Amino acid sequence: MRAKSGTFLIGFLLFALLGLCLLRTQSINADNFSHSPSLAEIPFLSEAADESVLGVFEGITPCNPLDSPFPQISENTNCEQMIWKLTLYHEAITGNPTTYQLNSAYGLSQQGTSGLQGGGTQLNLEGKWAKTQGAKADPLAVIYQLNPDDPSSVINFIKLDDPILHLLTQDMSLMVGNAAWSYTLNRTDETIVTDPSAAGIASPATPSLASAAFTSGVFEGRTPCVETVMAFHDVSATACQRVKLRLTLHQPTESDEPARYELLSIYVGTGDTQYRISGHWTILQGSATNPEAFVYQLDTDDAQQPLFFLKADDNHLFLLDNDLNFMVGDALLSFTLSRAD
């Protein structure tokens, strides 16, 4: 009896091991993923012994089938929103890129929530990634590239800062989000100290501050409820869930008058309280990590604490803290404003 029991146990273990091997080698087809009410965590096989986690990056992005953030999503797919959880691994000793794991889902937005209808379509991948260089806005930018050996499935991110990645288009431009979601992924596994020598956006030349550095237009986004934003309106909203921002920048006139702006802020969760404020804005050169960066400083007419935004390109502004460091969001919200006009 004991012999039969032992034989059964060995057979069961061999069957389980075979199942894991098949799971590892199975090719992934985005059109065949099952639907789940939440973003499922697929149990990938553990990384090699000489690998360590570089970072876990999360976010919610728009999803337009005609300009999809993911090559595996077909053009006839109903897709408004995509949820990302990207884990990057590197060699523990050298720091060289090795593999990635992606848990994601896409589909139609579930109204009133940050989720997807029916949990969306699951899209879970793993493979190799590499570092390269050069984006449209900056030939020196650091690029994180998924699937570098397969041109048909390559996904590119610009490294704006150690804890911030932003999706790129096929022509290596920053993808432009909307008033609800940006294409920014934030590092969520730990708080890290920025390395000033590893800046993502670095202008190859230093244009005059009075030239093309000015960008007029309307920029929108949703940010976490943080003191930096709250202090700008001299308010405290403990029940705040998120802040909707709409920033209008006016081009300077030929006179000596400074350029003007209007900022509309809506504090969701506090009765959707709205604040409108205006003032003048000027340009600084240099952030905490990049001496060549353009930073827009927004001052109020009553001399409150200013706001600072880094100009990544003509379509994106990134909120900075008072020390001119990037502000890092979470799995739901970023500090990115995207052009809306």
Instruction: Extract the tokens encoding 193.
Output: 């100290």
The torsion angle over the Cα atoms of residues 166, 170, 176 and 178, rounded to 10 degrees, is: -100
Judging by beta carbons within 10 Å of its beta carbon (0-12, 13-18, 19+), is residue 197 exposed, middle or buried? exposed
**Highest mean pLDDT of the ranges 43-57, 175-189, 239-253:** 175-189
301-331 pLDDT, tens digit each? 775 788 999 999 999 999 999 999 999 999 9
Which residues 6+ apart lie within 8 Å of 302 measured at CB?
A: none
- Position 198 pLDDT exceeds 90: no
Q: How many whole angstroms separate alpha carbon 339 and alpha carbon 105?
A: 25
Least confident interval from 117-131, 246-260, 291-305: 246-260
Average pLDDT over residues 152-179: 94
Token pair in block for residue 38: 């939440």
pTM across the whole model: 0.79
List the domain boundaries for the chain: 30-193, 217-339
Q: What is the per-residue pLDDT across 104-121, written as a single tens digit (0 to 9) for each? A: 999 888 887 888 889 899
Q: Residue 296 — very low, low, confident or very high, per pLDDT cuts 50/70/90?
A: very high
**With 80 as the cut, is the pLDDT of residue 142 above it?**
yes
Encoded tokens for 62: 């728009």
Determine which helix (DSSP H) or strand (DSSP E) holds 16, and give its type and residue range. helix 2-25
- Model pLDDT, residue 30: 34
Residue 213: the pLDDT is 60
Measure the CA–CA gap between 20 and 87, rounded to whole angstroms.
Answer: 20
User: Is residue 151's pLDDT more than 70?
Assistant: yes
Q: Is the pLDDT of residue 237 over 60?
A: yes
The predicted pLDDT at position 75 comes to 76
**221-249 average pLDDT score:** 85
Q: Tell me, what DSSP letter sits at residue 22?
A: H
**Strand-pair partners of 248:** 218, 262
Residue among 46, 119, 47, 132 nearest 83 (CA): 119
pLDDT tens for 15-61 read 444 444 433 333 333 333 333 335 655 555 445 557 899 999 999 99
Looking at the domain 217-339, which fold is it?
Lipocalin (2.40.128)
CB 316 within 8 A of CB 339: yes
Q: Taking the mean position of all CA atoms in its chain, how far away is CA 77? A: 22
DSSP secondary structure letter of residue 25: H
pLDDT at 186: 97
Position 212, amino acid:
A
* Residues 272, 252: Cα–Cα separation, whole Å: 32
Instruction: Indicate if the pLDDT at residue 204 is higher than 70.
Output: no
- Whole-number Å distance between alpha carbons of 178 and 201: 22
68-72, 126-130, 277-281, range with greatest mean pLDDT:
126-130
Copy the structure tokens of residue 298: 């927004």
Distances (CA, A) of 28 to 32, 80, 122, 153, 319: 8, 22, 11, 12, 37
The residue among 44, 182, 63 whose CA lies nearest residue 121 is 63
Helix (H) or strand (E) holding 146: strand 138-146
Instruction: Work out the mean pLDDT of the chain and round it to a whole number.
Output: 79
